[in-house]
Amino acid sequence: MSFLEFGCLIAVLCGLLVSLKAEIYIVTVEGEPVISYAGGIDGFEATAVESDEKIDTNSELVTSYAHHLEKKHDMLLGMLFEPGTYKKLYSYRHLINGFAVHISPEQAETLRHAPGVKSVERDWKVKRLTTHTPQFLGLPTGVWPTGGGFDRAGEDIVIGFVDSGIYPHHPSFATHNTEPYEPVPKYRGKCEVDPDTKRSYCNGKIVGAQHFAQAAIAAGAFNPSIDFASPLDGDGHGSHTASIAAGNNGIPVRMHGHEFGRASGMAPRARIATYKALYRLFGGFVADVVAAIDQAVYDGVDILSLSVGPNSPPAATKTTFLNPFDATLLGAVKAGVFVAQAAGNGGPFPKTMVSYSPWIASVAAAIDDRRYKNHLTLGNGKVLAGIGLSPATHLNETYTLVAANDVLLDSSVMKFTPTDCQRPELLNKRLIQGNILLCGYSFNFVSGSASIKKVSETAKALGAVGFVLCVENASPETRFDPVPVGVPGIVIVDVRNSKELVDYYNVALFSARGPNIKDFSFQEADLLKPDILAPGSLIWAAWSPNGTDEPNYVGEGFAMISGTSMSAPHIAGIAALIKQKHPHWSPAAIKSALMTTTSTLDRAGNPLLAQQASETGTTKLVKATPFDYGSGHVDPRAALDPGLIFDAGYDDYLGFLCTTPGIDVHEIRNYTHKPCNNTMGKPSNLNTPSITISHLVRTQTVTRTVTNVAEEETYVITARMDPAVAIDVNPPAMTIRAGASRKFSVTLTVRRVTGTYSFGEVLMKGSRGHKVRIPVLANGYPQ
């Protein structure tokens, strides 16, 4: 080998070592992004938008300034590093000014100390926060008619979905049976083309389809054979969320020869713009998600639905409110985009929110009125309850139970966990045929390597009459959702019933909870989260045949799944209906209308209940609090006509940040490009439709401003609170003209220190029938 060849080999190996230890970093730099640039640079005029104003995507000023920012990003990297030692993944120009880059930790340190660099943060992962709900919410009779019926509900409103893509051929997104869609001039997004068929992913209903995977590729997580380098949904999650918010009306849900009703989106005439940044095996990376959000806002979406959140509060920043992800969403709201984000699925435990900031609507999950119960009758007459979506066995006929571990062909196959009935070749068909197969619930079902669907296939292949899946041990937070199958089947989810069944054979919770946190040490914030409750349990919606997010629905066209991932698109779709009726309302106004018109009672008039883990490991129902449901369960009909709204804008959110203890004012300026000169006083004075004081000492007074969006009306204001905290409102009544705004104050006083939060509400009853309610929470401390 020559010296030259040896040198080349060393260079290649060194380059390989650098790439192996390289990581993705999100960098913000000096200079204002498009939404904030007020001018001052020669040759570039101002591009800043007023609060709640959209970016003008047709403006040459915007295009020119955005190109200028990207050139500066490239110049900075080019001056600091040799070509080939780094890879810029994205330039962020519209909502924040910065870029994502794949570099070594040593290079990141160099960047951190470079002139003009404001912050350098290592990228972190995000995860998915994984129907007759339109009827349950009263949309067909109470809401859609006000906008011209279902075939006009959401017309010309564009909902952007940052998710796992879309399956464009699903009937929920088809256009052949609908009135033709006209172009939406305000939306300027592009449509990628299927690399195999060369056909566009758009069809008039779907108006935008793009994918973002540069960070995933750089991290070595992206596999094009299963993740698809296109907007195609390889997971199922994205198609599901898109159809919940904006899927076509009246689509039959058919599986295994049964019809489970008809599916519809909340706003069936709304347009869909998909920004794929989540993938089936690893979730996603913030660098890709931020790029997707930045593009969506620039393209002109009206609503953003995010069924995605961080795996935990970001550790690199001092607060949950200031990081590239939340700062980008703040920019989106400034540009007039309403953002609905899933609250998270860490419940029933407290402080499990992964959606933190006041400028977005954080959505918790509710169980609606759908129930799928099955029963198993034993030979001794005992009836055991379970869940299932399956046909019944023949009436008045009895069958023999046969446990999987008693009919093994070879006892040496125990290493395959044969009791979970995933491999029919391990079991004796002769002994199972004509009987009911008894299977055991194992950890494989939790990990996703086993499925109820496969149990039913095993039972069918072996000639069993049906199956019973017995849960003998499970953690309190484990969810058991019914799965549609083609043979009689039941899952016994109650551990006590399972034990009784096993004994008989031998002898013959998820929605994330508050309080909200302001930093990585889980210090509580003066802000209520979640904001609102929407259906999120057992939701039927579109599914991609490629989808693997739920093993029970592989190859199917529909799936019934649960999670706050399903709740957020409900709110996104309802927000689209409000935006259609009130096109000039701000994101805060839409959020207020949704929150102040909610209900804290169920359909029977009883207080909402929350699932909670008991001391014995089972799930029990307890009276819910605002930490479970936020302001309450969404009421779309009332939200269209709220009477009063609590409005807020970019400067108000800046005031919230500036008054929150522990946030560095320099860090605020890094992300907002504005100084802290606000007179808000305390973060609890942010004009939100809720009041939270996490550390109440003696007495504190907060103010709120309401704006009348209806005709002149007189409101009587009352308040109530748990006994440990006294509450007083002033004035007790006020008359507000149409379009006018009035202030009122709420004073909270500690009566008794209990070590827990006290809950209450302020209720404003209008002379024209409007009811405006906001939750009040306070944790009293000694002087």
Residues classed as catalytic: 163, 237, 565
Which pair of tokens denotes residue 296? 């969506």
Which pair of tokens denotes residue 347? 């419940």
Which pair of tokens denotes residue 479? 């969810």
Return contacts of 390-393, CB within 8 angstroms, 24+ apart.
Answer: 390/456, 390/466, 390/484, 390/485, 390/486, 390/487, 390/488, 390/489, 390/490, 391/258, 391/486, 391/487, 391/488, 392/488, 393/436, 393/465, 393/466, 393/488
Query: For helices 324-334 and 665-672, what crossing angle results, to 10°?
Result: 50
Which pair of tokens denotes residue 560? 């019934």
Which pair of tokens denotes residue 41? 């640079």
Positive or negative CA dihedral for 211, 212, 216, 220?
positive
Q: Residue 167 in contact with residue 544, Cβ under 8 Å?
A: yes
Place of tokens 């993740």: 227
Q: Residue 724 in contact with residue 696, Cβ under 8 Å?
A: no
Quick count: other Cβ atoms within 10 Å of Cβ 763? 16
Q: Residue 763 in contact with residue 719, Cβ under 8 Å?
A: yes
Distance from C-alpha of 530 to C-alpha of 626, rounded to nearest angstrom: 8
Distance from C-alpha of 179 to C-alpha of 181, rounded to nearest angstrom: 6
Taking alpha carbons only, the member of 703, 364, 342 closest to residue 513 is 364
Place of tokens 């409102």: 729
Task: Catalogue the E-assigned strands of 178-301.
Answer: 206-211, 251-255, 258-263, 271-276, 284-285
459's enclosing H/E stretch is: helix 452-461
Query: For helices 665-672 and 650-659, what crossing angle results, to 10°?
Result: 160
Taking alpha carbons only, the member of 127, 398, 50, 417 closest to residue 284 is 127
571's enclosing H/E stretch is: helix 564-581
Q: Residue 283 in contact with residue 345, Cβ under 8 Å?
A: no
Judged by DSSP in three states, 99 sits in: strand
Place of tokens 């001391």: 615
Looking at the chain, how many residues does it have?
783
Residue type at position 71: K
426 contacts: CB under 8 Å, gap ≥ 6: 408, 409, 410, 413, 416, 418
Quick count: other Cβ atoms within 10 Å of Cβ 759? 16
Task: Name beta bridge partners: 533.
Answer: 364, 633
